[in-house]
Chain A
């Protein structure tokens, strides 16, 4: 069971690039890395998913080094509305082992 470790909280300012790193030292060969965003009183929302190297979509980039023991979610030019909790999950999509959210990283964006 791949366990993840993230910073509890981070602060940044509008317009900055924010990088949130997740450690997953015992990631398995078949595991993918998935990130979710959650606002208060809402369910989590999928952001991005990757297996290795770099993945980019319209809202974020995900950087995964060759050893895959960590991953970094990059949010370009953040705004106040990016204030949320961000969760990193690791699993192979085949069962509940990839469904552990942890406490996530509370990102606070200031003006």
Chain B
């Protein structure tokens, strides 16, 4: 296992279209996180999963955003009716849920979304 992977790496879409991103975490990690990052800002937490259960969602996650993690493996983040303000880097991370290294998140390379 080589780390967290995300697909696609880049996505350009027109306003109003739906987009879906995929994240494949490190296989033995049962926590999976989604973040959004815009230029000059730190990553902003969106949501996280413990196995297949979505435990917390940020207020940033409007009803146009939905995330799933079927069977506790890979996860998808869908944005419906995209807006120009959704343009950002979407980062996925994974970690263990116990033990001293539970604070250590491993991040993927991100998916850069541009909404035109």
> Taking beta carbons and an 8 Å cutoff, which residues of A are in contact with B?
32, 34, 36, 41-46, 49, 85, 87, 89, 91, 93, 95-96, 98-104
Contact = CB atoms under 8 A, between A and B. Distances in A.
B38 to A, nearest CB: 11
B34 to A, nearest CB: 10
B107 A104 contact: no
B42 A87 contact: yes
Given A99-B33, A103-B41, A103-B42, A46 B105 contact: yes
A44 B43 contact: yes
Given A49-B103, A99-B48, A43 B93 contact: yes
Nearest to A49: B103
Contacts of B40: 103
B103 A91 contact: yes
Interface string B45-81: 1001000000110100000000000000000000000
Interface string B10-40: 0000000000000000000000010100001
Contact of B42 (A93, A95, A96, A101): A101
Interface of B: 4, 33, 35, 40-45, 48, 55-56, 58, 89, 91, 93, 100, 102-110
Contacts of B43: 44, 101
A27 B24 CA distance: 33
A64 B39 CA distance: 31
A95 B109 contact: no
Nearest to A98: B103
A102 to B, nearest CB: 5
Contact of B56 (A43, A49, A87, A95): A95
Contacts of A89: 103
A101 B40 CA distance: 12
A89 B56 CA distance: 18
A30 to B, nearest CB: 12
Q: Which of A43, A46, A85, A102 has the most CB of B within 10 A?
A: A43
Contacts of B108: 43
25 contacts: A36-B105, A41-B89, A42-B107, A42-B109, A42-B110, A43-B4, A44-B43, A44-B91, A45-B107, A49-B103, A49-B104, A85-B42, A93-B102, A93-B103, A95-B55, A95-B56, A96-B48, A96-B55, A96-B58, A100-B45, A101-B42, A102-B42, A103-B40, A103-B41, A104-B42
